[in-house]
Structure formats: structure tokens, C-alpha cells
A and B are shown apart, each in its own frame.
Chain A
């Protein structure tokens, strides 16, 4: 593990080169798949930051995908605002909205928190369906993205994915990260040690909300169609949860592996209509039963392999120097 830093640099260079040459070398299909992987990766990374590190199992992240998508739609289609500016405004709105609902939902914890966030998302669905400004529940074709090249979508998604990963990577290596991992391992122990739980959680939540808005905007550039029931669909959160669980909850590599697998599986399953959910369900059950820590979590336990996650809990024998 001494060569960790060196490994990391090589890995990053390899990835940058790979992603850089992809648009030139890869087919449209490959490019589109990688675009989807980037988007799901970013979503899962954020969900993992909340669920895996901050102990906030949210079932309502679709609220922010929806707000991001709707802001993109309304601003760019209705008011002709630049697409990227619309997405950033959407993300800011998400962060503010997250901040606004946090006093209420942070009163809940565990399963109540999960249900509370879900209810917020469902309430938004109903609210948008009855809100004149967004055309009630009408179907929007996001014609501001019509004719946009696959390459442009790819780069947008790539930037979002890198940003999401980078945020988690950096955040976990700060004091907040230390506090987060303490909370993950034992909230009450962390509190007695002087970790400000509420503040730490809030910081993560607002960051995740902001990023979800960004991801929602980038996602709807790709989908080019939105209405309240799709924007605020629980399916978004199911996808994130799935990716994180099979990849490995509370690891940084987990969401990456999970998102890549999720996209590959769903793409293959287009050839077998109706089977997609069954196959995803079976995989999730098998992983939970056989390897409850997910692919990367299990790998770490068995071999100590990790690239990105800082692990300060239970250092392995002979690896005490590994931290940092």
C-alpha cells in the first residue's frame, strides 16, 4: 500500500486518457453507454455519500432529479436561457430546497428519514402536477436539446461524474470526512467525541442536493422529455440504491462499479423485455445474501484492495500507515 499514491496517479492518467480518446475511438453506442454510466455513477456517488457515509438512507433523491430536470426544461424551453446556466440554476435551487426541508426531515432518523424524504419527493410530484407555472402535469419535450450531439452529452455527463467523485474524494479527506466516517460507524460514539452530527449531516445533504440537481439537468439533456411522474419517479432512487448496494455501501469504488454494472445489465436487458427488473432484483438479493458489503466491500475484506476510499476504521494488520 506504500505505492498507493503512485498507483492512484497512474490510474487517474489512464482514466483521463481513456475517456479523452473515447469520443474519437468509440462508436456512438459505446459513447452513449458511457454517458449513462457517468450519470448513474454521479447519482450513486451522491447517494452513497448520504447513505454510506452520513447514515442518511434517503429514498427521496428523485426530488432533486425532478427539480433539476424541470429547471432545465422551464428555463431553456420557456425562457430561452442557456442550457448549462439552466442546469446550474437548477442545482442552486435544489441546494436551497434541500436546506429548506432539512429542519423537518432531519428530525427523523433511520427508516423514518427514508420515508420522510420519499414523502417530500411524492409531495413535489403532486405539487408540480397542480402548478400552473410548469404547465401542470403536461408532457414537456425539451426541444432546447434537440439535435445536440452525443459527444456533447457525453462530455457534460463526464464532467458531472468527475465532479461528483472528486467532491466525495476531497470531502472524505477533510475534517468533515473524518466526522462522517465516525458517524457511519457509530453516531452516538461520534457525538460523545464532539462531532457535530447535525451540522455535518446538513453539509453533506446540501452538497448532495446541489449535485443531484446538476445530475438531473444533465440526465434530462439526454432524455429530452419530462413530466412530474417521470421526473419525481422513485425509479431514480431505486437505480442509485441498486448500484450502491451491489457495488458496496460506504466505499468510494462501490458506486462506480455498481453504476457500470447497472447500465450494462439494463442495456443488455433491452433484448429481453420484462426481464430487467427480475434480473436486477435477483442480483440485488444474491449480493445482499452472499456479500452484504457489496462487491468492493467484500473485495476489501478479503484482500484489502481499495483505491479511492479512505479507511480509518479497523486498519488491517500491517497497514496502519495506509491512512493518507
Chain B
């Protein structure tokens, strides 16, 4: 009796396992007969575009609005008849996957899209934790990957063959901060550098000495911190001891919040604080500390609805894009990601249009040769496959009613983007 049970159970388990394997196989959209390695499916009437971005987890706020904006831009293209590829007009179809704000998951999500959805091209965005692993997965599989929303050097961790990126570089970041230092009247002063041990922190500390020297400032390194650190006392003491006139850094929002509240309570405050990455959104600057802790903080601004650029798809202005964002998401303002989300689809559109085919080599060539004006400025990929976008300088002001305004205080890199206020000095 028992033996029969055992046998039935064995067969049942085997059947379930084989059945589940078969089910997974059919997930591939019947691509079982496709050529094995990155073989493209026989052209249907759609171009399948994979999108990996953080829908959940720590970066979820960064990912908010992505589907709305990508969908809006793709609808524009599709409604205008799609894109002419291999001799016929095709519609773009977006398939999304969640990175869960985790690089390993981002890589797995990208692999999943590549193999199970048989995508023709990949889009990704929202920090190096997403764009770098997705690019690596695409490089491994030989799929073209277009990305935005990450500093160029942090993205360019390797020589890429199939991946292209539009972001800003450290030089532009530091230049946008220098504008704030100049306006604070501390020319020739000492600048303390807050840097974590991560890629962006290392890039900044590696570049800042030469930058400061060339611009008549003096850089001071108070020592690196490990992201997630809860005690910045020794670093703050070093900054204090050296009498730094300004503090510059590239920090995570959570690290910045901890650091800045300890800086405030130390009784020492530099004339101007310029920190990248930490405060892209109003939610971030609010999260950095209660009661307007970060009031007066300067940060790099990637994009605003006042930027003087227009869409290469429809000719819409940045203001139109910003309004559309607010309409689609119900948000009260359009953050920088609105413009960059739209621009990612613009780049996709132009690469596909110029290539005129879904062949990987032709797509790479089209991206290599790309030179277009987008809502984030001119995009032209260099030998390392990235394009350098301009920045302006913003300062967060805490209003009496508890809201935040980001004033544009310097516009050297985009002179046609109007400044809205003078720098407020501590």
C-alpha cells in the first residue's frame, strides 16, 4: 500500500515539475524554435521595447511617473503612424519590469525581459543601481540598451558595445556647484568634500583636486564615509578644523539627512553647501530633516519645465512636457525625471528611425552616429557611449507654510534657462 502511494507521489511530483518547466517554456511566446543566441523573432508589426526601472523599494519615488511619461511619448509616436522599420511602419510596445531597487534584481529583471519577452531593444533609467546592472545584462546578451538618469562616469564602469547613456558628467556637476560658490563670494576659499566609498563618491574625490586648482579653489578631503554610516562627527570636526567655506558632496538622501543634522547641531555651518544626488525631489529635501533642516541647500538641477529645449518627436516645449507630467501623475510640480523620461523615448525614437531596422549592428551604428536636439539638450554619444547633458544650479528654499521651492540661482551651462532668484547665503 505504502509503496503504491510512494510511486504515485513520485509520479505526481515529477509531473508537477515537468509541467511547470513546460509552462515556463511557453512563457517565451512560442519562441522555442527561434535561433538560440539573441536571435531576433520574425518581425511582427510591433517593436517590443523592454523597460527596467524601480517600481518598488527605496528608489520607488525616483521611478514614480515613469510608465505615464514613457507611455505618453510612445503614444505620440504610435499615433503618428509608428516607426518605419524594415520597410513597414511599426508600433512600439513597452513591456515593464521592476528592479525592486536592487541591482541583482535589476539584472534578473533585464534577463527575464530579454529571454521571455523577446525584446528588440532595452530602455532603463533611475540611478546607477538600475542602469549599470541592466546595461551589463544587455551587454552579456547582445541587446541594445539606452539609458538616462545616472552620472556618466558612474554608468561608464566598462567599455560597452551595445549600451548608450545620456547623463551629466562630474565636470558639469562641479561647474554647476562652482557657480554657487562664486555667488556666495568665497572665491579662492576652501571646499570640503563629502564622499562615500561608492562609485560616485570616488569619482568626485578623484576629480575635485584638479578642478578646484584650475578654478582657484582649494579642495579638502575630510575622509571617506561608508554609505549607511550614522556618525559623521570626525568628518565634521575635520571640516570645522580646516574652516571650510563650502561643503560639496555626492550623497544618498538618507546619508545626507544624517550628516546635515549632525552638521547643524555642531554649530558650524559653511557659507554654502552643494550636494549632488541627495535632493532631486521635494520629497527628498523634506525627508532630509524636519522643519526645513536643509533650507538653503544647493543641488545640481538636470531639467526644469523652463529649459529652452523642444521635443524632437513633436516639437513640444519643456513647459508642455512638464504640464503633461502634472496632468498624468497628479503631481504638483514636474521634477527633472519628467524631462529625462521623455528624452529616453526620444532617443529610442531617433535611433530606431535612423537605423530603419531592428538589426543589432544597425541599431548600434545609428546610436553611435546619433546627433539630435532633445528636451534635455543635444544628445551625441562619445567614444565611451555616453552623452554629456548640461546642468543648472538650484537652491532649496523652505517657505513659511512648510512647502519647498527650488530656485534656479545659476544657469551658466544653459543660459536660456532663466534664473529665478539670487543665492541665499547662510
Q: A residues engaging B (CB < 8 A)?
A: 1, 7, 23, 25-34, 36, 126, 129-130, 135-143, 145-151, 222-225, 227, 229-230, 233, 235, 257, 260, 264, 266-267, 270, 273-274, 276, 299, 302-305, 307, 316, 318
Question: With a CB–CB cut-off of 8 A, which chain B residues contact A129?
Answer: 197-198, 226-227
B179 within 8 A of A: no
Contact between chains at A136 and B224 (CB < 8 Å): yes
Q: Kindly provide the distance from the CB of B320 to the nearest chain A CB, expressed in whole angstroms.
A: 29
* Contact stretch, chosen from B100-108, B235-243, B297-305: B100-108
B139 within 8 A of A: yes
Contacts A30-B28, A129-B226, A318-B2; is A257 near B13 (CB within 8 Å)? Answer: yes
Question: With a CB–CB cut-off of 8 A, which chain B residues contact A36?
Answer: 108
Q: Kindly provide the distance from the CB of A163 to the nearest chain B CB, expressed in whole angstroms.
A: 21
Give CA–CA (A196, B24) in the complex, Å.
Answer: 46
Give CA–CA (A299, B202) in the complex, Å.
Answer: 54
Contact between chains at A138 and B198 (CB < 8 Å): yes
Which residues of chain B from 181 to 220 have a CB within 8 Å of any chain A CB? 196-199, 201-202
The DSSP consensus for interface residues of chain B is helix
Chain B residue at smallest Cβ distance from A22: B21
Query: Of B2, B56, B116, B224, which one neighbours A304 at CB under 8 angstroms?
Result: B2
- Per-residue 0/1 for B9-38: is the Cβ within 8 Å of any A Cβ (1 yes, 0 no)? 110010001001100110110011010111
Contact between chains at A270 and B5 (CB < 8 Å): no
Contacts A141-B139, A150-B37, A270-B112; is A29 near B31 (CB within 8 Å)? Answer: yes
Contact between chains at B2 and A316 (CB < 8 Å): yes
Contacts A27-B25, A30-B25; is A222 near B111 (CB within 8 Å)? Answer: yes
Contact between chains at B97 and A30 (CB < 8 Å): no
Chain B residue at smallest Cβ distance from A2: B3
Q: Kindly provide the distance from the CB of B231 to the nearest chain A CB, expressed in whole angstroms.
A: 14
Total count of chain B residues near the partner, CB < 8 A: 63
Contacts A223-B136, A260-B20, A267-B112; is A139 near B227 (CB within 8 Å)? Answer: no
Query: Of A28, A142, A235, A303, which one neighbours B5 at CB under 8 angstroms?
Result: A303
Contact between chains at B157 and A235 (CB < 8 Å): no
Contact between chains at A225 and B132 (CB < 8 Å): yes
Query: Of B13, B34, B38, B104, which one neighbours A27 at CB under 8 angstroms?
Result: B34
Contact between chains at B37 and A139 (CB < 8 Å): no
Contact between chains at A27 and B157 (CB < 8 Å): no
Contact between chains at A137 and B198 (CB < 8 Å): yes
Contact between chains at B157 and A141 (CB < 8 Å): yes
Contact between chains at B104 and A235 (CB < 8 Å): yes
Chain A residue at smallest Cβ distance from B8: A303
Contact between chains at A305 and B5 (CB < 8 Å): yes
Question: With a CB–CB cut-off of 8 A, which chain A residues contact B111?
Answer: 32, 222
**Would you list 20 pairs from A and B whose C-beta atoms are within 8 A, ordered by A residue?**
A1-B3, A27-B34, A28-B28, A29-B116, A32-B111, A130-B197, A136-B198, A137-B227, A138-B198, A138-B199, A141-B157, A143-B158, A150-B141, A230-B103, A257-B13, A264-B20, A299-B9, A303-B5, A304-B5, A305-B10
Contact between chains at A224 and B115 (CB < 8 Å): no
Question: With a CB–CB cut-off of 8 A, which chain B residues contact A267?
Answer: 24, 27, 112, 116
Q: Kindly provide the distance from the CB of B124 to the nearest chain A CB, expressed in whole angstroms.
A: 12
Chain B residue at smallest Cβ distance from A145: B140
Q: Kindly provide the distance from the CB of B355 to the nearest chain A CB, expressed in whole angstroms.
A: 21
Contact between chains at B13 and A270 (CB < 8 Å): no
Question: With a CB–CB cut-off of 8 A, which chain A residues contact B227?
Answer: 129, 137, 229
Contacts A29-B25, A33-B24; is A274 near B98 (CB within 8 Å)? Answer: yes
Give CA–CA (A138, B96) in the complex, Å.
Answer: 27
Contact between chains at A257 and B17 (CB < 8 Å): yes
Query: Of A136, A137, A230, A316, which one neighbours B104 at CB under 8 angstroms?
Result: A230
Q: Kindly provide the distance from the CB of A48 to the nearest chain B CB, expressed in whole angstroms.
A: 18
Q: Kindly provide the distance from the CB of A50 to the nearest chain B CB, expressed in whole angstroms.
A: 22
Question: With a CB–CB cut-off of 8 A, which chain A residues contact B157?
Answer: 138-141
Question: With a CB–CB cut-off of 8 A, which chain B residues contact A138?
Answer: 157, 197-199, 202
Query: Of B2, B102, B136, B201, which one neighbours A303 at CB under 8 angstroms?
Result: B2
